[in-house]
């Protein structure tokens, strides 16, 4: 961390207090941004934290759908995004028409959308989910229901395999997690036979099968903190290493690939957060005709998962 970073961090901490702004950040954010946040978590925890925010202005350090989720759940609050161009290619791969066409063909189907989706997708969704609660939510749905799981095919297949349940899914994936191959993981396991393998369920099913533990970012962090092992191969975005190292300074962490970096998450910087606080911009809003049905899907997720 540079001296300039420290100066910016001090300014941000002072300004967020002066302007009563609650900063929520994802685990994939830069280390220095996690350090100035009031709350750091995975996408599910971020949604809950936004809903429960003690302040009326929330700055979301994450990609666009995360800021939208906060705006959907908190219509009476001001939601800021320091970088509104930070987005998710997987989330943007599906359109509302894709969902409506499936629903027209199978009118009794249940649409389950990953929170990694734009507001207009959530608005045509029956219930949302995250990687941490997808299996729990699907278990609560009627056994004979036709489920359309969108937009992450890897998460859909992995949950389907775990539950032994047929799931229809949309053909899309996270480019960061999907790039990880079985061959590279096998080689890494051979190089570090003492290490446990922890894999995010957005990875390919053949990679997931190599894991000692499969879970969300929060699940991976908790697993390491509660494990007697001291060496881990971690298959998810590199930002997760910071909170793990903070909580477990003596444990050895091996990133599954040096290419597991989300450029959209990393596009958010201290400079952009400071600018956002100084100018209270960019304000994220969701039209009411989209927000209300999207809020139902998100609230249903929180109810089912709690």
- For 103-157, the pLDDT digits (tens) are 999 999 999 999 999 999 999 999 999 999 999 999 999 989 999 999 999 999 9
User: Percent of the chain scored above 70 by pLDDT?
Assistant: 100
Comparing C-alpha atoms, which of 55, 149, 74 is closest to residue 110? 149
44 falls in which pLDDT band (50, 70, 90)? Answer: confident
Q: How far apart are CA 290 and CA 298, in angstroms?
A: 12
- For 224-237, the pLDDT digits (tens) are 999 999 999 999 99
* Together in a domain, 236 and 219: yes
Q: How far apart are CA 253 and CA 245, in angstroms?
A: 8
* Together in a domain, 185 and 248: yes
* Together in a domain, 95 and 232: no
62 falls in which pLDDT band (50, 70, 90)? Answer: very high
Distances (CA, A) of 106 to 100, 124, 168, 293, 294: 10, 14, 11, 20, 21
Does residue 258 surpass a pLDDT of 90? Answer: yes
Q: What is the mean pLDDT of residues 245-268?
A: 97
* Together in a domain, 14 and 71: yes
Residue 132: which domain range?
91-174+290-305
**84 within 8 A of 60, measured Cβ to Cβ:** no
1 falls in which pLDDT band (50, 70, 90)? Answer: confident
pTM of the complete model: 0.94
Comparing C-alpha atoms, which of 200, 300, 303, 194 is closest to residue 256? 200
CATH number, position 64: 3.40.50.10800
In this prediction, residue 51 carries a pLDDT of 92
* Together in a domain, 188 and 213: yes
- Residues 264, 180, 244, 241: is their CA dihedral positive or negative? negative
Q: What is the mean pLDDT of residues 260-289?
A: 98
In this prediction, residue 78 carries a pLDDT of 98
* Together in a domain, 105 and 162: yes
Does residue 71 surpass a pLDDT of 90? Answer: yes
* Together in a domain, 232 and 271: no
* Together in a domain, 165 and 299: yes
- For 289-305, the pLDDT digits (tens) are 999 999 999 999 999 98
- 43 backbone φψ class: left, alpha, beta (φ>0; ψ -120 to 50): alpha
- 124 backbone φψ class: left, alpha, beta (φ>0; ψ -120 to 50): alpha
In this prediction, residue 306 carries a pLDDT of 79
* Together in a domain, 202 and 239: yes
Comparing C-alpha atoms, which of 262, 187, 202, 267 is closest to residue 235? 202
Mean pLDDT of the chain: 96
84 falls in which pLDDT band (50, 70, 90)? Answer: very high
* Together in a domain, 45 and 66: yes
Say which residue the tokens 């190599």 belong to: 210
* Together in a domain, 57 and 22: yes
29 falls in which pLDDT band (50, 70, 90)? Answer: very high
- For 100-117, the pLDDT digits (tens) are 999 999 999 999 999 999
* Together in a domain, 101 and 170: yes
Number of domains in the chain: 3
């Amino acid at each position: 961390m540079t001296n300039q970073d420290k100066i910016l961090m001090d300014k941000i901490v002072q300004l967020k207090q002066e302007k009563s702004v609650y900063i929520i950040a994802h685990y994939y954010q830069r280390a220095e941004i996690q350090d100035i946040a009031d709350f750091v978590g995975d996408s599910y925890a971020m949604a809950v934290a936004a809903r429960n925010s003690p302040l009326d202005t929330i700055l979301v350090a994450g990609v666009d759908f995360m800021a939208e989720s906060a705006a959907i759940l908190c219509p009476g609050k001001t939601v800021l995004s320091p970088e509104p161009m930070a987005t998710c290619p997987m989330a943007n791969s599906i359109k509302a028409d894709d969902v409506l066409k499936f629903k027209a063909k199978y009118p009794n189907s249940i649409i389950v959308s990953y929170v990694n989706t734009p507001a207009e997708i959530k608005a045509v969704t029956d219930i949302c989910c995250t990687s941490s609660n997808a299996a729990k939510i699907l278990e609560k749905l009627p056994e004979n229901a036709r489920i359309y799981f969108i937009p992450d095919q890897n998460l859909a297949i992995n949950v389907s395999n775990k539950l032994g349940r047929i799931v229809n899914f949309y053909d899309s994936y996270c480019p960061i997690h999907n790039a990880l191959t079985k061959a590279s993981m096998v080689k890494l396991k051979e190089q570090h036979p003492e290490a446990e393998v922890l894999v995010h369920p957005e990875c390919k099913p053949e990679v997931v099968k190599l894991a000692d533990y499969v879970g969300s970012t929060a699940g991976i962090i908790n697993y390491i903190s509660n494990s007697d092992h001291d060496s881990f191969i971690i298959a998810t975005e590199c930002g997760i290493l910071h909170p793990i190292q903070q909580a477990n300074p003596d444990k050895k962490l091996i990133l599954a690939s040096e290419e597991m970096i989300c450029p959209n998450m990393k596009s958010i910087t201290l400079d952009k957060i400071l600018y956002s606080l100084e100018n209270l911009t960019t304000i994220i809003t969701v039209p009411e005709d989209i927000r209300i049905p999207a809020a139902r899907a998100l609230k249903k997720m929180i109810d089912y998962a709690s």
